[in-house]
């Protein structure tokens, strides 16, 4: 199946699940409080198919990107009849819970999905929680231009003291084209540096060219190549080549190139004991470099019990929530371009790519991220969204009276126009990302 077909099928399934879960939250809360639900729709526009049970029409509609639950008396532009089954006939705290239930269910789904993934395949970059000691910097990168050196330790990034690599990468990601202040420990010296993450093509996350210092551990051997035939084993930690310390496969390949592929001695630790082997690197015509034939994977993979998986899932979702909210804040402050947002076309592309990967965990992780984004986005205080309704209910609670119908009508009309324009810009950016001219720039 082509990537296009994978993308279409995957995005329909992914967004369909997200929408059903979100709207079920509203539906269940409304039913619990006795609000009459007239329509439960997956999609917008013309009704394609469905069935009616009780007072509710369950339907699939023509436009698949979205969905809604229509409750009696919910529309502020409709006149009230006083029917106890109408949304507006219920106290504000019940309306608040009904509005909150949709985003809440999306957040619960994100936690549940990641919990399941972590019970099967918990993948962690081993260096992320460690101190940010710089291993290397890419040539002509912001890191090189800022004067950072291998062995430097970042003691502060922006306002974060004693950060981990995860903290450093998060600040870099959220600061494209904006300088970041760094406090550096270099031996006994304390230095202050400034680094400005760059964007490729004027969009996307910031990048600096920094790479962490980490252990060079063999995770995979390629059959028939020098490492496998010379006696290197999975789990070996390579410390040096010909007595020269190395910290990465890149450094190793650079040494191979400097000696033009002659026989070298690799030394390191095997189960805590020293070892050494001799091998002759081979030339890779595809990558135009020498290599030994092993793979260094910086990931640690484990299966977590339910309790720990749930805890890790809650932690991961909490961190991602903070990242999303900070990204929104920086977009409002115009420190991050709206081009950083992905729309339905990009979601379809990512869904297709995830669906084609081996196993089900990549797609589940993507679904968890989308579900969390959907939950948080709907909580933003924008009229028409659930967060807008919650905000109006909060204001009415402080006023101890309802906002007048004409005012509500104007608020919703303006918000609707703004939301349509926003969606149009996001979709336009999505389309531009697919065009060859855009990629060349």
Q: Would the pLDDT of 375 be above 90?
A: yes
Active-site residues, by number, are 23
Q: Would the pLDDT of 430 be above 50?
A: yes
**pLDDT tens profile 58-95:** 999 887 767 889 999 887 667 677 788 999 889 999 99
CA atoms in the 13 A half-sphere facing the CB of 166: 11
More confident site: 28 or 351: 28
Residue in 69, 68, 60 with CA at minimum distance from that of residue 12: 60
Q: Average the pLDDT over each of 146-155, 243-252, 273-282 and give the range with the smallest value.
A: 243-252
Q: How confident is the model at residue 265 (pLDDT cuts 50, 70, 90)?
A: very high
The predicted model gives 270-274 an average pLDDT of 89
Which SS3 state, helix, strand or coil, does residue 87 take? helix
Is the entire prediction scored with pTM above 0.85?
A: no
Q: Record the tokens describing residue 226, joined without a space.
A: 């020098």
Map tokens 């009459």 to a residue.
36
Same fold, 134-212 and 220-297: yes
333 φ, ψ (degrees, to nearest 5): -80, 0
Q: How confident is the model at residue 437 (pLDDT cuts 50, 70, 90)?
A: very low
Q: How confident is the model at residue 286 (pLDDT cuts 50, 70, 90)?
A: low
CA dihedral (388, 320, 329, 153) in degrees, to 10, reads: 170
Under CATH, what is the fold of the domain 134-212?
Answer: Pdz3 Domain (2.30.42)
Q: Tell me, what's the pLDDT at 404? A: 81
Q: Would the pLDDT of 438 be above 50?
A: no
Under CATH, what is the fold of the domain 220-297?
Answer: Pdz3 Domain (2.30.42)
Domain borders along the chain are 3-120+352-440, 134-212, 220-297
166-170's contacts with Cβ under 8 Å and 24+ in sequence apart are 166/128, 166/129, 167/132, 168/132, 168/210, 169/128, 170/323
Distance set, CA 184 to CA 17, 150, 252, 384 (Å): 47, 12, 27, 47
Contact 106, 374 (CB under 8 A): yes
**pLDDT tens profile 8-32:** 777 778 888 888 899 999 999 999 9
**pLDDT tens profile 183-220:** 999 988 999 999 888 876 555 666 787 877 667 788 77
């Amino acid at each position: 199946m082509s990537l296009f077909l994978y993308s279409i099928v995957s995005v329909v399934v992914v967004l369909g699940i997200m929408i059903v879960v979100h709207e079920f939250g509203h539906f269940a809360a409304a039913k619990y409080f006795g609000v009459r639900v007239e329509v439960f729709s997956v999609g917008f526009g013309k009704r394609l198919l469905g069935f009616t049970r009780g007072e509710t029409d369950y339907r699939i509609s023509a436009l698949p990107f979205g969905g809604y639950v229509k409750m009696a008396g919910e529309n502020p532009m409709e006149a009230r009849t006083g029917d106890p089954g109408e949304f507006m006939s219920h106290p504000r705290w019940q309306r608040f819970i009904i509005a909150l239930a949709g985003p809440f269910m999306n957040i619960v789904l994100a936690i549940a999905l990641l919990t399941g993934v972590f019970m099967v395949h918990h993948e962690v970059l081993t260096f992320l929680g460690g101190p940010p000691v710089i291993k290397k910097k890419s040539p002509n990168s912001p890191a090189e231009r800022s004067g950072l050196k291998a062995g430097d330790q970042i003691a502060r990034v922006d306002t974060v003291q004693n950060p981990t690599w995860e903290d450093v990468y998060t600040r870099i990601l959220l600061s494209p084209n904006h300088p970041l202040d760094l406090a550096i420990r270099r031996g006994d010296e304390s230095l202050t540096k400034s680094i400005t993450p760059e964007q490729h093509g004027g969009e996307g996350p910031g990048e600096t060219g920094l790479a962490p210092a980490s252990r060079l551990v063999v995770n995979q051997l390629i059959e028939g190549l020098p490492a496998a035939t010379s006696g290197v084993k999975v789990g070996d930690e390579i410390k040096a080549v010909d007595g020269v310390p190395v910290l990465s496969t890149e450094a190793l390949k650079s040494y191979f190139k400097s000696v033009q592929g002659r026989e070298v001695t690799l030394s390191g630790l095997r189960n805590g004991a020293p070892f050494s082997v001799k091998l002759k690197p081979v030339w890779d015509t595809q990558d135009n470099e020498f290599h030994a034939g092993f793979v260094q994977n910086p990931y640690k993979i484990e299966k977590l019990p339910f309790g720990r998986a749930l805890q890790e899932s809650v932690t991961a979702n909490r961190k991602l929530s903070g990242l999303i909210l900070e990204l929104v804040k920086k977009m409002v402050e115009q420190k991050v371009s709206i081009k950083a947002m992905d729309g339905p076309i990009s979601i379809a592309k990512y869904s297709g790519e995830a669906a084609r990967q081996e196993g089900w965990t990549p797609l589940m992780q993507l679904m968890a991220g989308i579900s969390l984004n959907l939950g948080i986005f709907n909580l933003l205080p924008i009229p028409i969204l659930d967060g807008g309704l919650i905000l109006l209910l909060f204001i009415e609670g402080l006023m101890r009276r309802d906002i007048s119908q004409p005012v509500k009508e104007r608020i919703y009309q303006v918000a609707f126009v703004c939301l349509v324009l926003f969606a149009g810009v996001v979709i336009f950016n999505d389309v531009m990302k697919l065009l060859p001219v855009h990629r060349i720039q």
